Structure 1
Amino acid sequence: MTRFDRLDVIIPTLNAGGTLSRTLASLPSGVAVTISDGGSSDATIAIAGAAGCRIIQGDPGRGRQLAAGARAAERPWRLFLHADTLVRSDGWEAIIEHMARPEAKSSAASLRLVIDDTAWQARVIERGVALRVRWLVLPYGDQGLLIHRDLYQAVGGYCDLPLMEDVEIMGRLGRARHVALKGCARTSAVRWRRRGWLGQTVLNLSCLILYRFGVSADRIAGLYGR
């Protein structure tokens, strides 16, 4: 038995071959890994198979894939993690500490975001995300979501959405059932480099505002380019 024998890591993938190897290599011994793939045409499935992951395949859509991964998971705790995100050592320690608390089953937890870039803009965005989590209780999926299966089932799990699935489930969890952990999740800066620091940040904020005003996740996904 290891400290992680109660944890299933669930990773949604779609042509994630460029980042998945590194993410899987960073996982600690003892975790079970479920790859929920949405129809990859690159090396994603081969990488996951070589790493000994449980693989399920279905239609694309991150909410749908996360829900399918949760149905396949067998352990009491689930960590939903993006394929381009690495949990740092302090993050794993925070996860272990959270799971050990008697009251932890009644709350979900997220990690502190770190962007994998040395640019000053990355530090500004990280501070902004920390404030968003503190004020709005709104961590995004690239911060990971740690949740016990009982609570996951009680709130109804992830919805079949192509985007905004993290915002939607946090709306059902609410402030009283969320804990911000001190450990970090380091996520890729590729999307900020591609669209620009300001452009990607404005796009993220626009998607959130549109969703809050009732625009469908399908329309927002079109705007986002997914």
Structure 2
Amino acid sequence: MTRIPVSIIIPVLNEAKLLWPFLAHLRERAAGAEIIVTDGGSSDGTIELARDSCNQLIVGEPNRAKQMNAGADAAHGDILWFVHVDAEIPQGCLEEIQRIMHDPKVAGGFFRIRLPRSWVYRFTDSFAHYAGILLGMRCGDHGIFCRRTVFVDVGGFPEVPLMEDVEFFRLLRQRGRVVCSQKRILSNPRRYETVGRVRLTLAYGLIAMLYIFGVPLSKLASLYERICCKAM
């Protein structure tokens, strides 16, 4: 099977504490992939750490959609993989992506999420997975990957105030099959711990429901700010 070049795109903003170990983790588990860090104007030393530790560093304004689009524009790989800096990627991840993308009818894919053991996290994990299947929604924590040609075709990530990853995922599904890998990305629960496990779980569920009913993203962004960001 011919190996398809993969570019890993990591949007960051003030992530100096996590960036160095994460890049070392990527080099171990995704050896051979191009690593692109796209920074939103960090002030904590993230840029300096990234400069000598990745294949490409892009610095721009703090907007996750714009950051990921800039990384995709600079990428050399034929597969684009968008990964968060607080994730732990699974063993054999590149081989899994190659296996999935070998089918020309597949536009892209994503990984299941695994959260640390806790009844709230188990509920959140299961609820998000099956709700995602039912509603055709996935967020950036899932490590979405796709063909570069498809990314260009859909216009990249929409530059919206919230849920740019969900909007992009829905565009991706219009261009072909999107496959769920049974390998899991370990997602860092830091936001749950800061905002509150139950509070954030309920907030995500409420926002997802309102999104499905067509509430404008600007209003959802304001709601998210009130419920989640003020609690941090």
Q: TM-score, normalised by structure 1?
A: 0.88
Instruction: Choose 215-224 or 200-209, whichever is displaced more.
Output: 215-224
Do the aligned partners of 2:23 and 2:54 also contact (CA within 8 Å) in 1? no
* 1:197–1:55 distance in 2 versus 1, CA, 3 Å: same
Residue identity matched to 1:179: V
Give 2:104's aligned residue. Answer: 103
Do the aligned partners of 1:86 and 1:187 also contact (CA within 8 Å) in 2? yes
Give 1:224's aligned residue. Answer: 224
Deviation of 1:133 (Å): 2.8
Give 1:210's aligned residue. Answer: 210
Give 1:32's aligned residue. Answer: 34
Deviation of 1:46 (Å): 1.8
Residue identity matched to 1:169: F
Instruction: Choose 196-205 or 90-99, whichever is displaced more.
Output: 90-99
Distance 1:198 1:90 in 2: 33
Number of residue pairs matched by the alignment: 221
Deviation of 1:95 (Å): 1.6
Residue identity matched to 1:112: R
Offset from partner CA, 1:105-159 (integer Å, 9 cap, x none)? x4210100012x2222212211112212322221110011110101111222111
Does 1:200 pair with 2:196?
no
Residue identity matched to 2:119: W
**Which SS does the other structure have where 2:222 is aligned?**
helix
Structure 1: gaps (5+ residues): none
User: Structure 2 matches for 1:103-182, cutoff 5 A?
Assistant: 103=104, 106-115=106-115, 117-174=116-173, 176-182=176-182
**Which SS does the other structure have where 2:166 is aligned?**
helix
Give 2:15's aligned residue. Answer: 16
Distance 2:209 2:203 in 1: 10
Structure 1 stretches of 4+ moved >4 Å: none
Distance 1:224 1:7 in 2: 33
Distance 1:32 1:58 in 2: 20
Distance 1:16 1:196 in 2: 21
Offset from partner CA, 1:185-222 (integer Å, 9 cap, x none)? 11110011112221111111222233334444344333
Distance 2:62 2:216 in 1: 17
Do the aligned partners of 2:6 and 2:34 also contact (CA within 8 Å) in 1? yes
Give 1:83's aligned residue. Answer: 85
RMSD: 2.1
Give 1:42's aligned residue. Answer: 44
